[in-house]
Amino acid sequence: MIVIGIETSCDETAVSICKDGNILSNIIGSQLVHSEFGGVVPEIASREHEKLLYNLTEEAINSAKIKITDIEGVAVTNGPGLSGALLTGVSFAKGLAIGLGVKIVSINHLEAHIIANFLEANNLSYPFLCLLVSGGHTQLWWIKEMENYTLLGESRDDAAGEAFDKGARLLGLKYPGGPEIEMCAKGGNSSLIKFPRALIKSKKVEFSFSGLKTSLLYYMDSFKKTDECKLNDVAASYQKAIIDCLVSKMKLAVELTGVDTISIAGGVAKNKLLRKMITKNFKKENIIFPDLKYCTDNAAMISYLGELKFKLGHKSKFDFSINPNFHNSKD
């Protein structure tokens, strides 16, 4: 079956074609315009999606070497995300499906991030745990089987990606903050500054990153570069505090559930220190790392999950709406 996936939940405009579980094309138009504002500007994101969608769709179809009339189903992210941004993608997808006379299915962006672990990971089987770490969410999921997921816990406040993005701003770095902090931290001493690791000792799967961000804010107020402490030491110490919290709760989740296969998903899953610390703390044969290109927002995960949904007999009525706030696949 040939499915086109459309993703416009935040600042990546993405279109992909999936055929029988294989990704034929995966086109992403990153909106670099937000970088100068230090974060995503929702109104600009919607307008950019509108501008890019048509051409990226054409590119996705051409690079998949199919004809538009070969498409048998349309899958589109309808949440969570920015309302205006989601609306552009959903409206475009509905128009495309109606024009082609094919079915449509709405996709939960978070479920797609998790299921992206199956792309290129032939050895992944249920059940497994998934640490979903993106710009808007930090959650630990117990993935029992397809469409049977339990949320073990999540962040009480900021997401890990948000901690990277806000931290980067305080360090004078650009948006998105994750890759910036990762780069700045190179060669830095990660144990020089003792940033807090909130809730790390609690026996619940829960996270909190807002205190960490505030502690960086206070630290930077009086920060002066010296021979003993440079910006890369601060970045490395801050990054390590985030990663320590994530890895400790993964260990707790394994303890609580007895499930030892673990995976990661979302933009922060690209982080090299996170991958290194997971490799250090868990058995290699139990770890699934998604390909880097499937961590940050993409439409391959949407077309792939869309095809799975169609094969399960799901399809959406054409009057479905966006769901900007849902964070749970059962919503």
19 alpha carbon, distance to own chain's centre: 23
Specify the residue, 176 or 306, whose C-beta has the smaller distance to ligand KG4.
176
Cα–Cα dist 30/52, whole Å: 10
Query: Closer to ligand KG4 at the Cβ: 29 or 177?
Result: 177
Cα–Cα distance, 28 to 302 (Å, whole number): 12
Does residue 139 belong to the site contacting Zn ion (CB under 5 A)?
Answer: no
Cβ(161)–Cβ(214) under 8 Å?
A: no
Question: For residues 15 and 71, which CB has a smaller minimum distance to Zn ion in the complex?
Answer: 15
The binder of Zn ion chosen from 49, 297, 308, 316 (CB under 5 A): 297
Whole-Å CA distances, 318 to 7, 221, 270, 273, 303? 17, 52, 35, 43, 18
CB distance 3 to 310 below 8 Å = yes
CA dist 159 and 242 (Å) reads 10
Nearest to ligand KG4 of 19, 137 (CB atom): 137
Distance of CA 12 to the CA centre of its chain: 11
Least Å distance, CB 317 to ligand KG4, is 26
User: Which one, 233 or 297, has the nearer CB to Zn ion?
Assistant: 297
Q: Which is nearer to Zn ion, 110 or 185 (CB)?
A: 110
Q: Whole-number minimum distance, CB 262 to ligand KG4, in Å?
A: 18
Answer with the entry of Zn ion, ligand KG4, none that 179 interacts with (C-beta below 5 to 8 A by kind).
ligand KG4
Number of neighbours of residue 98 by Cβ within 10 angstroms: 12
Using CB under 5 A as the binding rule, whether residue 158 contacts Zn ion is answered as no
The smaller minimum CB distance to ligand KG4, of residues 71 and 300, is found at 300
48 binds, among Zn ion, ligand KG4, none (CB under 5 to 8 A by kind): none
136 binds, among ligand KG4, Zn ion, none (CB under 5 to 8 A by kind): ligand KG4
Q: How far apart are CA 283 and CA 79, in angstroms?
A: 34
- Residues found in the chain: 331
Please report whether residue 117 would count as binding Zn ion according to CB under 5 A: no
Residue closer to ligand KG4 by CB (options 102, 295) is 295
Cα separation, 47 vs 278, in Å, equals 39
48 binds Zn ion, rule: CB under 5 A: no
Q: Which region among 134-142, 144-152, 227-235, 252-260 touches Zn ion (by CB under 5 A)?
A: 134-142
Residues that bind ligand KG4 (CB under 6 A): 10, 134-136, 161, 164-165, 176-179, 182, 266-268, 270-271, 296-297
CB count within 10 Å of CB 203 equals 9
In sequence order, which residues have a C-beta less than 8 Å from that of residue 226 and are 6 or more positions away?
none
Whole-number Cα distances in Å, 312 to 45, 88, 305, 306: 33, 27, 11, 10
Applying CB under 5 A, what is the total number of residues that bind Zn ion?
2
Binding part of the chain for Zn ion, among 79-87, 191-199, 226-234, 289-297 by CB under 5 A, reads 289-297
Distance CA 252, CA 265 (A): 18
138 is a site residue for Zn ion (CB under 5 A): no
106 binds, among Zn ion, ligand KG4, none (CB under 5 to 8 A by kind): none
Q: How far apart are CA 331 and CA 315, in angstroms?
A: 16
User: Using CB under 5 A, which of 16, 77, 134, 263 touches Zn ion?
Assistant: 134
Binding site for Zn ion (CB under 5 A): 134, 297
